């Protein structure tokens, strides 16, 4: 066999072995953790309220207002073909990688009001948290769980 072919085959075998080791050690652990986290989250529409299957909370942003108080802003989406009036939510913000027993970043009682059919509405409120603004997780690392409390 030529020396160049032996070198190429050696690199291919070592690369394959390293890739297999990476998939066995690193890849499997992250996949099982992601699956375990996904199964513990409440399913969309898990609330007993009939409107919960049409409502979605997205676009969560945390920032400070002019008074240096932490504020949360998010968008409520209405996926139904009818307007929802008097909408009230209880929103819980938690870190994405948190365990069920982990204390939430904040709990917000949101009196959203009317959301048009197939429309959106932004909501903003002071954040009730013990953390400073620089201690809060970034938006990519937050998950929102919510329950529709009104209308019934």
Total domain count for the chain?
2
- How many helices (H) and strands (E) in the chain? 2, 6
Give the tens place of pLDDT for each residue, 60-96. 999 888 998 899 999 999 999 999 999 999 999 999 8
Residue 45: inside a domain: no
CB 52 within 8 A of CB 42: no
Question: Containing domain of residue 33, as a range?
Answer: 1-40
pLDDT at residue number 35:
46
23 and 64 both lie in a single domain: no
Q: What CATH number did the domain enclosing 135 receive?
A: 2.60.40.10
Phi-psi region of 45 (alpha: psi -120 to 50; beta: other; left: phi over 0): left
99 and 54 both lie in a single domain: yes
Residue 67: inside a domain: yes
Rounded CA gap, 88 and 61, in Å? 19
81 and 146 both lie in a single domain: yes
Give the tens place of pLDDT for each residue, 31-68. 444 444 443 334 444 558 888 999 999 999 998 889 98
């Amino acid at each position: 066999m030529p020396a160049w072919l032996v070198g190429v085959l050696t690199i291919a075998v070592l690369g394959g072995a390293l890739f297999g080791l990476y998939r066995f050690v690193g890849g499997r652990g992250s996949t099982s953790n992601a699956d375990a986290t996904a199964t513990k989250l409440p399913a969309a529409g898990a609330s007993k309220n009939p409107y919960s299957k049409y409502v979605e909370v997205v676009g969560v942003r945390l920032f400070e207002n002019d008074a240096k108080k932490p504020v949360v802003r998010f968008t409520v989406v209405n996926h139904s073909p009818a307007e929802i009036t008097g909408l009230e939510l209880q929103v819980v913000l938690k870190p994405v990688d948190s365990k069920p027993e982990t204390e939430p970043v904040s709990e917000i009682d949101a009196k959203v009001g009317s959301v048009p059919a197939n429309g959106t509405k932004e909501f903003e409120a002071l954040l009730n948290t013990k953390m400073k603004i620089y201690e809060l997780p970034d938006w990519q690392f937050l998950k929102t769980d919510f329950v529709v409390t009104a209308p019934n």
